[in-house]
């Protein structure tokens, strides 16, 4: 996701990013408000004022989404689970926890924080709308009424009891606390999420039959997204259960082709990448690893500059790389790759590179165990 997003800065030490799809969502909200909602409900507003109000309302709407995610993030950090980033995308926002909560109580508190923030915002904006045009003017009344309604709807929708919604995490926390079975609780919340998703898709199809294509496509798309996310949540827990007890040493590759920082990108591609079929290469200078270069860094260099650009210029420097020890658990390795949004991670022992673990290595490790039935 990071490669398709851009940074908006940091807040409370948490990086705030926006996926490119968020720009589409922002534009749609501005268009909907300026072309439909505000002109239909507040015809007294001048067209120029309506457009400016639509932009301001859209900004505060997405600020409300950030506040919702900050609710999750700050409670999570308070419980010892830092959140490195919040990402805005077309369906809202997502706080990326450094790891899953280890206690049902923590899961519950983190999950419920977001909707509580949205309810509080709904009350605040509702008070602004309740004051009325005579006190705050018509533009602020329209602004407050729309944001109050949307924040209230956001809180209610997120409380639906299925993954990946907050209500799904609340459901998992309750079932987990009662049964002491995290995997079963996750499966139940995932199944509930898929049922909600299929309900939304069915609703979208019904609207399509009635000719309401715009709402039909959007609702069905939201349903599809929820179904995918719910399935992935269950699959992630199953993966973690399978990886438990295994280390990076078991899955790492030790025959990584090493390249020098002075090698050109052209030579790297011609003599190493195409010959080995590998996707990432440790950069070694003076018998020490100085960085890592992957296909992503190679693609970032214009083709016409391959002959003059060196590996040392294009690589990810060592200080920016996360690494793990050979005895690190594969669950930890997987979580670090997810957090850093990378496909591979160096394995370092006593300051020396001893191997690499890529997502493909983990998949091959799992497939081999499944084939052998061990």
**What's 344's domain CATH number?**
3.10.580.10
What's the pLDDT band for 1 if we cut at 50, 70, 90? very low
Distance CA 218, CA 200 (A): 10
13: three-class secondary structure by DSSP: coil
Helix (H) / strand (E) element for 365: namely helix 359-372
| Rounded-to-integer distance, Cα 59 and Cα 146, Å | 13
Kindly tell me if the per-residue pLDDT of 2 is higher than 60: no
Number of domains in the chain: 2
Same domain, 291 and 308: yes
One domain for residues 220 and 78: yes
Question: Do 181 and 58 sit in the same domain of this protein?
Answer: yes
pLDDT digits (tens, 9 = 90+) for 310-367: 999 999 887 777 888 899 888 888 878 877 777 788 888 877 778 888 888 888 877 7
31 & 178 share domain: yes
Residues 173 and 260 in one domain: no
pLDDT in tens, 276-314: 888 888 888 877 778 889 888 999 999 999 999 999 999
* Pairwise pLDDT comparison (313 vs 212), residue with the higher score: 313
Q: How many CB atoms lie within 10 A of CB 311?
A: 24
Is residue 50 domain-shared with residue 104, that is, in the same domain?
yes
In this structure, are 289 and 219 located in the same domain? no
When pLDDT is averaged across residues 216-234 and rounded to a whole number, the result is 86
Q: Determine contact, residues 326/346, Cβ cutoff 8 Å.
A: no
* CA neighbours closer than 13 Å in the CB half-sphere of residue 32: 11
pLDDT digits (tens, 9 = 90+) for 25-61: 899 889 988 888 888 888 887 878 889 999 999 999 9
Looking at the fold, whether 207 and 295 belong to one and the same domain comes out as no
Residue 374 pLDDT level (bands cut at 50, 70, 90): low
My answer on whether 16 and 146 are in the same domain is yes
> What range defines the domain where residue 10 resides?
2-243
């Amino acid at each position: 996701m990071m490669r398709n997003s851009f940074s908006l800065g940091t807040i409370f030490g948490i990086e705030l990013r926006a996926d490119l799809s968020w720009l589409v969502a922002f534009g749609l909200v501005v268009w909907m408000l300026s072309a439909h909602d505000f002109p239909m409900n507040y015809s007294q507003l001048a067209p120029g004022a309506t457009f400016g109000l639509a932009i301001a309302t859209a900004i505060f709407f997405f600020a409300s989404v950030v506040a919702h995610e900050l609710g999750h993030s700050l409670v999570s950090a308070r419980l010892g689970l830092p959140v490195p980033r919040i990402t805005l995308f077309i369906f809202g926002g997502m706080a990326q926890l450094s790891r899953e909560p280890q206690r049902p109580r923590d899961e519950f508190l983190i999950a419920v924080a977001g909707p509580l923030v949205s309810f509080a915002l709904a009350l605040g904006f509702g008070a602004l709308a309740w004051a009325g045009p005579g006190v705050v003017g018509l533009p602020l009344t329209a602004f407050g009424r729309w944001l109050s309604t949307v924040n209230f709807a956001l809180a209610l929708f997120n409380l639906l009891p299925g993954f990946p919604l907050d209500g799904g995490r609340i459901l998992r926390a309750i079932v987990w606390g009662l049964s002491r079975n995290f995997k079963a609780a996750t499966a139940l919340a995932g199944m509930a999420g898929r049922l909600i998703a299929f309900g939304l898709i069915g609703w979208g199809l019904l609207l399509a039959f009635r000719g309401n294509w715009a709402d039909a496509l959007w609702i069905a798309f939201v349903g599809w997204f929820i179904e995918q996310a719910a399935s992935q949540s269950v699959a992630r827990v199953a993966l973690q259960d399978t990886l438990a007890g295994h280390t990076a040493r078991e899955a790492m590759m030790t025959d990584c082709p090493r390249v020098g920082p002075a090698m050109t990108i052209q030579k790297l591609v011609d003599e190493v990448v195409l010959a080995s079929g590998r996707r990432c290469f440790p950069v070694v200078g003076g018998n020490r690893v100085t960085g890592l270069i992957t296909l992503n860094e190679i693609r970032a260099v214009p083709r016409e500059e391959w002959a003059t650009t060196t590996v040392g210029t294009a690589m990810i420097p060592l200080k920016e790389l996360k690494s793990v020890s050979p005895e690190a658990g594969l669950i930890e390795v997987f979580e670090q790759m997810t957090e850093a949004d990378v496909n591979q991670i160096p394995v370092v022992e006593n300051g020396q590179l001893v191997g690499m673990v890529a997502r493909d290595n983990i998949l091959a490790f799992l497939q081999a165990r499944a084939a052998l039935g061990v």
